[in-house]
Structure 1
């Protein structure tokens, strides 16, 4: 019931007890992570979960990211005549949660996943001595203003040789602002894991400070939600002894 799955290009997840009836009072969480520059496509082969109009009893929820705060792709329950359409993440992670209450139960679910190419410009592994990156953008043809795409989770990992460090600077920065940077934001973390030590989370119009990594890797995570979008950011990095 739950777990972390990394390094695979395809796989499948079942409700506990499948193909028998799932047990009562279960909460299972799976986190699936695939390589940078890839994303996940999830396809349901079986779906038989207790029905409720708002899926408040038993349900499976899929989020576009690594935790319970990531954007919800879908919350699903019931036994529909037609299986849900395939779901695709914007980045290399999916958070999958199954809940059952203490009453009715059924066969549950079987969902398979595979990797597909990532959104161009949305993340990647950077190993050159210096370079730059920015989120994918689109141009409003009416106002001729460029802004980043909605519903993105992009991760860039800058990797230096062992013994060297990474200097990260931002040349421009304009994101949707909010209290605690809840909507759109950039996170910088030490190492290459999305759960690595957080250096800072930033949004709004203030240019983030430059940062020199403690080790040989830095991770930059950009998240955008479904609504307001601005020009985005332009980041530069340099690898060296610093």
Structure 2
């Protein structure tokens, strides 16, 4: 898609590919801008590696440069041929996007005193292991997380069912009837934390002529709220 003299943008959606400066291996033209916007499926990142790099050197890359961006943030700006205090080259560095898109911009100014051959870069889609990238405090799944190429899925321990949100493990804790004259009823896993997204119904039935006396353990611990009575978890 032509967007101006000496300037063009190419959209890339393959899982891997090669990007080269205009005319490579011949010296790149002056006063030129090229843009490559890479997008791969969700669940992947983009890895970028330069195998050749030879651009005009300049202070802080103000003349010719290659700029790598992702989600509006600049990941790197390269120019020159060798690393200096004011110029950065790719060398053996692998650049990886945070998500599934990456943009590369090549720009040359109106004059070059020498001839520079440009660059060659290779990109590829890299699977994201969502399960290993979250800490215990930021779990994607309540119990088990399983990574596959392009995504992940959750599963639960025996006795639990996966909630419709496909992340939460809930337990079927209804239907039991207690007919003994004394006994103990506890939340699932007590004294460990009770499972999320569960709706437990307990039925107590004894012979006629008796009443029921219910006494809660001092360790009673159900989610509360400082301003509203039992808006989230509750026992009724």
Higher share of residues assigned strand? 1
What's the TM-score once normalised by structure 2's chain length? 0.48
- Between the two structures, name the one with larger relative contact order (CA 8 Å, sep ≥ 6): 1
Pick the structure with greater CA Rg. 2
Relative to the length of structure 1, the TM-score reads: 0.47
